[in-house]
């Protein structure tokens, strides 16, 4: 699994291509076996649904 847990703040890329931050509220495994997270944007409080493996890559950049 991932090093992240519920409540962690992780980066994600929004639809405009900007890197933002979201607080993880839950995890879900999708059909292909990848783990996505549900979260809340830390600035706008918008709901976020994003693949966790891409957030991990954004941290490494």
**Please, which pLDDT band fits residue 60 given cuts at 50, 70 and 90?**
confident
pTM exceeding the 0.75 threshold for the entire prediction: yes
pLDDT for 36-48, tens place per residue? 999 999 999 999 9
Strands (E) located in the chain: 9-13, 19-29, 35-41, 47-51
**pLDDT tens-place string over residues 2-15:** 689 999 999 999 99
Map residue 20 onto helix, strand or coil: strand
Cα-based torsion angle of the residue sequence 5, 24, 54, 11 in order, rounded to the nearest 10 degrees: -110
Check residue 1 and give its pLDDT. 52
Q: Which domains does the chain have, with CATH numbers?
A: 9-60 (2.40.50)
By C-alpha distance, which of 61, 60, 4 is closest to 50? 4
Over residues 21-25, mean pLDDT:
98
* Mean predicted confidence (pLDDT) in 4-30: 96
Q: Looking up tokens 């600035």, which residue turns up?
A: 43
> Which residue has 């999708």 as its token pair?
30
């Amino acid at each position: 699994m991932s090093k992240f847990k519920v409540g962690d703040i992780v980066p994600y890329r929004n639809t405009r291509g900007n890197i933002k931050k979201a607080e993880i509220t839950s995890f879900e495994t999708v059909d292909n076996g990848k783990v996505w997270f549900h979260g809340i944007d830390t600035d706008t409080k918008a709901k976020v649904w994003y693949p966790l493996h891409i957030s991990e890559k954004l941290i490494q950049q």
